[in-house]
Chain A
Amino acid sequence: MKKNHVSIERLPLRPRGKSANARFGKLDIVLFIILLVYAIIIIFPFYNAFLISVSPEYVYNETPLLLWPRDLTIASYTSVFQNENLWSGFRITMVLLVLGTAYQMFFTIITGYALSRSNWFGKNFLMNMILVTMFFGGGLIPYYYLITSLNLHDKIWVMIIPGAIDTFNMLLMRNYFQSLPKELEESARIDGANDIQIFVKVYLPLALPMIATVGLFFAVGNWNSWYNAMLFIKTPSLWPLQFVLRNLIITGSSNIEGTITSPETYSQGLVMASIFFTIVPMMCFYPFLQRFFIKGIVVGAIKG
């Protein structure tokens, strides 16, 4: 640990008007332009995709680079909102989001806390056990067998239960708990608190930033998950949103021989509208949550 690290609570600002030039120099303008261009590069695909989602098909076919809206239409979005699969995908993903995130957070946090405490019976055993799994795995087929014998095929639980603990997030929690001063525990014990109270009343509240961060990571992971569904879920009403989206994007541009009841060939408009359907919820929540996780990940990584 560097000896002169500053506590993260006091983010010092560059002193204004003192030694640094108060007026904006050439360098500032250059920086401004570079960052502006960078931000535009990030935003532009969204803008362009949005334009496509509100343009009719022939406009897209005729203009490669859509810069301004032309002949706007909401036909794509109407189609999207009528697509039953997307809605059921949305419902399923919401369930995964709420149930799954809570479930994962619970187990990850208690494990992280346990491993952050020193010198208890079995700690090293557990730590080593986890360490080995970070490198070695049996692969997909035994996992498949496992799911079969647990009778989880084609059930929504197959997307929730196997995700109980994410090793990376658990380590983040562990590091965070470790970074909190030991004196807290000692003084709590002196005051007569037992283990449960120390955990719940002392450490948990202090770890809120990290908990929020980890919760966000899990939430985003659940929102974006599709792999387990592809392998184990047959019933279309149980498909999560990203999986439905992936099918839309791929079939929108494929041309399989010999098909009779091929699904409607979706134009790019529908694909883009579907993409926005899945992104917009995230875009709404994102700016507010951004504060939390920046704090959290910083502390978790630096103090680790």
Chain B
Amino acid sequence: MDNVLIAKKQSRAHDLKKKVGRSKFLILLGLPAVAFYFIFCYIPMYGILMAFTYYYPKRGILGSLFTSFVGFKNFDTIFKDPYFWQVLGNTVFIGLGKIIISFVAALLVALLLNEIRMRMFKKSVQIIVTFPHFLSWVVVAGFVNLFFVTDGAINGVIQLFGGQPIDFLRNGPFFITLLFGSDIWKEAGWGSIIYLATMAGISPELYEAADIDGATRLQKIWHITLPSIRPTAILLLILSVGGILSAGFDQIFNLYNPLVYNVADILDTYIYRSQFNDNVNAGVTTAIGLFKSVVSFILVLSVDRIAKLSGERGII
């Protein structure tokens, strides 16, 4: 019996050696990645421990860990602060809203472009509407400010029609509208690419069959076009759910101002401001970040599990 076990072990070791030999080139290719992720992601990762300390810069992270360890007190402080829950609510609202709205917008644009039959026009429009994706939010925020400022273009038009100027940038609900609106302006064209390509890949026989059955254009869209994008949409959904709690730091950071903090603050901007402007202790801000990471991770796992259960392919 022992001989069999030994033989098995030996052959397994032998197989392993062979495997390593075969993979030499790929291991070589993979080494830079290992080094890179180790240096730039794993080495800083021990900073998570800061969440359990009251941080003193001069003592460093380990130093603070040993001299001012506070356990879960930072989390306690966070959860007791009502503003944190508001920020969390904003983040979920904005994050979820963006996912839904940008999905709908991208889909609509894709449908519109798919249905239009003038090829030159379609191509030009596509080029135009995908361009804003490549601008930085610094520039787009500059445009938004330009237009929606009190005596800017939009208010000029409103006043032309006899209305009262609206305070877009500093009035909560309007600011949120601006957030979603500018996100659509920037990203809808880009987001439509995938859906458009999927739609273009639908076999024309399906449409012909529908014509024979006498379907209207809308019915064709509903029964053929839309179902074809379902797997893609679900995949993208799973990918984006993990990012709900991120909700777009760049955009909000460049657009917001103190008057709309209470509705526009998301976790990332809150962390940023607490850390750099309000000078909240780094231990606390790290705790918020850790909370965010853990919840995002759980979210992605859950959504992936749900997707797998309903028959689609997951990503993990």
> Do chains A and B make direct contact within the complex (CB under 8 angstroms)?
yes
Which chain A residues have a beta carbon within 8 Å of chain B's beta carbons? Answer: 2, 4-6, 8, 11-12, 14-15, 18-20, 24, 27-28, 31-32, 34-36, 38-39, 41-43, 45, 48-49, 52, 64-66, 107, 110-111, 113-115, 117, 119-123, 126, 129-131, 133-143, 145-146, 162, 164-165, 170, 194-196, 199, 220, 223-224, 226, 242, 245-246, 249, 268, 271-272, 275, 278-279, 282-283, 286-287, 290, 294, 297-298, 301-302, 304
Option from B32, B130, B286 in Cβ contact (under 8 Å) with A107 = B32
Kindly identify which residue among B37, B118, B232 contacts A32, using a CB–CB cutoff of 8 Å: B118
5 more A-B residue pairs beyond the given contacts A135-B297, A143-B47, A145-B60, with a C-beta to C-beta distance below 8 A: A38-B112, A65-B153, A110-B29, A249-B138, A286-B134
Contacts known (A20-B211, A27-B115, A139-B285); A121 close to B41, Cβ less than 8 A: no
Given A45-B143, A195-B26, A271-B142, residue A302 in contact with residue B197 (CB < 8 A): yes
Chain B residues closer than 8 Å to A12, beta-carbon distance: 200-201, 203-204
Q: How far is the CA of A34 from the CA of B32 in the complex (A)?
A: 49
Check if B161 is an interface residue, CB within 8 A of chain A: no
- A-B residue pairs in contact (CB < 8 Å), sample of 28: A12-B200, A15-B208, A19-B208, A35-B113, A39-B125, A42-B129, A49-B143, A64-B152, A114-B30, A119-B19, A126-B33, A133-B41, A135-B296, A136-B48, A138-B45, A142-B43, A142-B46, A142-B50, A142-B61, A145-B44, A162-B40, A164-B32, A199-B29, A224-B136, A279-B139, A287-B127, A302-B197, A302-B232
- When C-beta atoms are compared, the residue in chain A nearest to B150 turns out to be A64
Known: A2-B231, A32-B121. A283 touches B131 (CB 8 A): yes
Collect the chain B residues with CB atoms within 8 Å of residue A246's CB: 138
Min CB gap B187→A, angstroms:
12
Q: Is the CB of B32 within 8 A of A110?
A: yes
| CB pair A286 B131 closer than 8 Å | yes
Q: For the complex, what is the distance from the CA of A297 to the CA of B106, rounded to whole Å? A: 15
- Are B194 and A297 within 8 A (Cβ)? yes
Residues A120 and B43 in contact, CB atoms below 8 Å apart = no
- B277 CB → nearest A CB, Å: 14
Residues of chain B within 8 A of A275, CB atoms compared = 139, 142-143
Taking A11-B201, A146-B43 as contacts, is the C-beta distance between A65 and B156 under 8 angstroms?
yes
Measuring CB to CB, which residues of chain B are less than 8 angstroms from any residue of chain A? 16, 19-20, 22-27, 29-30, 32-34, 36-48, 50, 55, 60-61, 109, 112-113, 115-118, 121, 124-132, 134-136, 138-139, 141-143, 146-147, 151-153, 155-157, 185, 189, 193-194, 197-198, 200-204, 207-208, 211-212, 217, 228, 231-232, 235-236, 242, 275, 282, 285-286, 289, 293, 296-297, 300, 316
B47 contact from A31, A115, A139, Cβ within 8 A:
A139
| A138 contacts B232, C-beta separation under 8 Å | no
Are A142 and B128 also in contact (CB < 8 A) when A165-B37, A301-B194 are?
no
CB distance from A37 to the nearest CB of B (A): 11
B192 to chain A, nearest CB (A): 11
The reply to whether B139 and A138 form a contact with Cβ atoms under 8 Å apart is no
* Contact among B19, B22, B146 for A49, CB-based, below 8 A: B146
State how many angstroms separate the Cβ of A209 from the closest Cβ of chain B: 13
- In the complex, the answer to whether B131 meets A42 with C-beta atoms within 8 Å is yes
How far is it, in angstroms, between the C-alpha of A286 and the C-alpha of B129 when the chains are bound? 12
Q: Least Cβ distance of B293 to chain A in Å?
A: 5
Q: Is the CB of B29 within 8 A of A114?
A: yes
Residue of B nearest to A144 (CB): B44
CB contacts (< 8 Å) of A268 on chain B: these are 146
**A138 adjacent to B47 (CB under 8 Å):** yes
- Chain B contacts for A130, CB-based, 8 A: 33, 37
Contact assessment for B40 and A279 in the assembled complex, using a CB-CB cutoff below 8 Å: no
Residues of chain B within 8 A of A141, CB atoms compared: 47, 50, 55, 61, 282, 286
Q: CB distance A137 to B41 under 8 Å?
A: yes
| Chain A residues whose CB sits within 8 angstroms of the CB of B112 once the complex forms | 31, 34-35, 38
Residues of B within 8 A of A126 (CB): 30, 33-34
Residues of chain A lying within 8 A (CB to CB) of residue B38: 129
**Nearest Cβ in chain A — how far from B167, in angstroms?**
15
Q: Are B194 and A302 in contact (CB under 8 A)?
A: yes
Contact assessment for B130 and A290 in the assembled complex, using a CB-CB cutoff below 8 Å: yes
